[in-house]
Amino acid sequence: MSPLNPDVVLRVGWAFALLLPLGGALAGCQANASAEKAGTESDTATAAAPADVEVVAVEFRPWPREVRVQGSLLADEHAVIGTKVAGRVQQVHVDLGTVVAAGDVLATLETEEFDLQVRAAESQLQQVRMRLGLQPDDSEEKLDPTQAPAVVQEAALRNQARANLQRAQSLAPNHIITAEELDQCQAELEVAEARYRSALNSVGETVASIGLRRAELDLAKQARLDAEIRAPFAGCVEQRFVAPGTYVQVSEPIATLVRTDPLRFRAGVPERQAARLQENQAATIHVEGLETPLQGQVSRISPALDLSNRTLTVEIDVPNPSSRLRAGVFAEAAVVVDPEARSLAVPRDTLRDFAGVEKVWIVQDGKASEQVITTGRRDGDWVEILSGLAAGDRVVRQPQESLAGPVVVRPPPTVAAAKEE
């Protein structure tokens, strides 16, 4: 065997020296690859583990059926207060927003002319009473017409004429007086009788004129009272139309008065729902800005539909003792038309909404699956189900995304606490 060449041995040594680090690096890469593969397999095992969920059963719940309408809160009474007499405004006692009680004076007209009319009517009445001989404290109802001065005078003349006729008749047989004189006495008696009856009729006319003069006096006094324009009911001044010094004619407006306790919620109910409404049905009224809804009941229903929009007008009285609500406010009312109705419902936290589509996760045979649903009304923590679920279905509460697959149903907190005890 030939001896090894020293140069060849040196080159081989350098090659081994270079290959040793490369082998170590390759061994490290293989070790890292093995570790990463083991980690991936561990994650896959963890992802495959069933999710721990809480479920609730879909059930029918008492849910009164309602008819929802939109309308406005209107004043219970709304009146434009005008004058009953003409005159010049002396003083206006109210302004915009003034709260008044029934009978409070809104405005006053100048009263001098009305006072003069009252005194004139009183004088005319007293004048007529004096013709009958009545004193201020005497009542014309107890007047004896035969005792009136004019009647008493005519009665005396009649009695004298009767006596003259009787004397003439006693002298006629002895021819002391002529037949012509006897006829004259007879005519005088007839005239006296006629004048007496005329006096009685005149007294009757005068008594009747007393009633007329008394009515004129009452009218004058009423005009004096009407010079003070008063509120016909308790309310609040919505608008004022006149100022002191304004001359107003009869029926000219002075102020607009509204009564806001109670208010009237008025709305139009569509024809398809009108037949379900009845008086005294309970109603809940929601007003923008009020946290607590108002309670009331249907007070009035129109007897006929409005042909222009095919709606039925309904009104609901709304108490407003402190006048915190203003007339004209927009409101929405829910009228209970079937208090015994029931609806399929689920808790609100079982729903998920994505791009306008509502869905839940149903658990069947230990697996969760996605289900699209259609919802209706909402009441607190409960949501009405219109389609997509049936009574008894179990849905996941507070579901997470990507829940499809096997799940473990944990008992409700109350059941779990009972088991621990």
Q: Is residue 393 part of a domain?
A: yes
Q: What is the CATH number of the domain that holds 404?
A: 2.40.420.20
What 3-state class would DSSP assign to 116?
Answer: helix
Q: Identify the domain containing residue 218 by its residue range.
A: 111-226
Given a contact cutoff of 8 angstroms between Cβ atoms, the answer to whether 351 and 395 are in contact is: no
205 and 124, same structural domain?
A: yes
Q: Is residue 106 part of a domain?
A: no
Tens digit of each residue's pLDDT (9 = 90 or more) over 56-106:
889 888 878 888 999 999 999 999 999 999 999 999 999 999 999 999 999
| Total structural domains within the chain | 2
Q: Is residue 403 part of a domain?
A: yes
Using a cut of 0.85, tell me whether the model's pTM lies above it. Answer: no
pLDDT of 314 strictly over 50: yes
Q: Which residue has the tokens 């007294």?
A: 203
Tens digit of each residue's pLDDT (9 = 90 or more) over 362-419:
888 888 888 899 998 888 888 989 898 888 898 988 887 777 788 888 877 654 444 4
Instruction: Give me the chain's average pLDDT, please.
Output: 83
128-133 contact pairs (CB < 8 A, 24+): 128/206, 128/209, 128/210, 128/213, 129/210, 131/206, 132/203, 132/206, 132/207, 132/210
139 and 215, same structural domain?
A: yes
Q: Is residue 92 part of a domain?
A: no
What local confidence, expressed as pLDDT, does residue 102 receive?
Answer: 94
Q: Is residue 413 part of a domain?
A: yes
Q: Is residue 234 part of a domain?
A: no
Q: Is residue 259 part of a domain?
A: no
Given a contact cutoff of 8 angstroms between Cβ atoms, the answer to whether 210 and 128 are in contact is: yes
Given a contact cutoff of 8 angstroms between Cβ atoms, the answer to whether 317 and 77 are in contact is: no
Q: Which residue has the tokens 């009020």?
A: 290
Which pLDDT band, with edges at 50, 70 and 90, does 354 fall under? confident
- CA distances from residue 270 to 68, 120, 287, 313, 333 in whole angstroms, order as listed: 10, 63, 21, 9, 14
Final residue belonging to a domain, choices 226, 249, 264: 226
Instruction: Please report which helix (H) or strand (E) contains residue 218, including its range.
Output: helix 179-226
% residues pLDDT > 90 (the chain):
39
194 and 125, same structural domain?
A: yes
Final residue belonging to a domain, choices 198, 226, 254: 226
What local confidence, expressed as pLDDT, does residue 7 receive?
Answer: 52
134 and 56, same structural domain?
A: no
Residues 6 or more apart whose CB falls under 8 angstroms from that of 65 comprise 336, 337, 338, 341
Q: Is residue 102 part of a domain?
A: no
Dist CA 394 CA 368 (whole Å):
10
What local confidence, expressed as pLDDT, does residue 178 receive?
Answer: 85
414 and 353, same structural domain?
A: yes
57 and 148, same structural domain?
A: no
Q: Where are the alpha helices (DSSP H) in 227-287?
A: 271-274
Dist CA 160 CA 55 (whole Å):
125
DSSP string, 24-80: HHHHHHHHHHHHHHHHHHHHHHHHTSPEEE-EEE-EEEE--EEEEEEEEEEEEEEEE
